[in-house]
Amino acid sequence: LQNNAETQNTSIVAGTDLKIVSLRSEPQQVYINETYTYTLHITNNGPDEATNVAVKHVLPSYATWVEKSESNSNGWSCGGAQTLICSLSKLAVGASQSLVIKAKLSQLGSGTVTATSSVSSATAEINSAD
C-alpha cells in the first residue's frame, strides 16, 4: 500500500498591492530658489502587511532636496541626493500614508519639472501594474 498516497507541498507566499494613489506638487508654478512640496499618498491594498516599504523619488539635476536626510512625519525616514529614498518599517493592509518631500530649483529655466516616484517593499508585490 505504499503507492496509495501522495503528498504535495505548496508554498504560501505573503503578498501586497502597494500603490501611489496620488502625487501632487504645490505651488503649481515654481521659481528659482523657491521651496516647493511634493505630497505622495501611498496605500496598501493587501492582502498582507507590507514590510520595509521604500519610496523612490527622482528629480532632475537642477533641483535640490530640502530636509533630504531628516525624519519625515508619519514614520518615514528619507535620504539621498537627486534620487531620494524614503523608507517606512511597515504598512498595514488597508492603510494609507502620506509622504511630504520638499525641493528647490537651483537654476533658471522654463518648461516643466518632472518628478518620478515608485513604491516597493520586502513583501512580494502581487499587482505590479499599479
> What CATH number is given to the structural domain containing 83?
2.60.40.1510
* pLDDT one-digit tens code per residue, 9-63: 777 777 899 998 877 777 777 888 888 888 888 999 989 999 999 999 998 777 8
Q: How far apart are CA 48 and CA 65, in angstroms?
A: 33
Chain-centre distance of CA 45, in angstroms? 14
What is the residue range of 83's domain? 15-121
Is residue 96 a part of any domain in this protein? yes
Give the count of alpha carbons within 13 A of 18, CB side only: 26
Residue 3 covered by a domain: no
Residue 55 lies in a domain: yes
Domain count, the chain: 1
Instruction: Give a yes or no: residue 98 inside a domain.
Output: yes
Give this prediction's pTM. 0.80
1 located within any domain? no
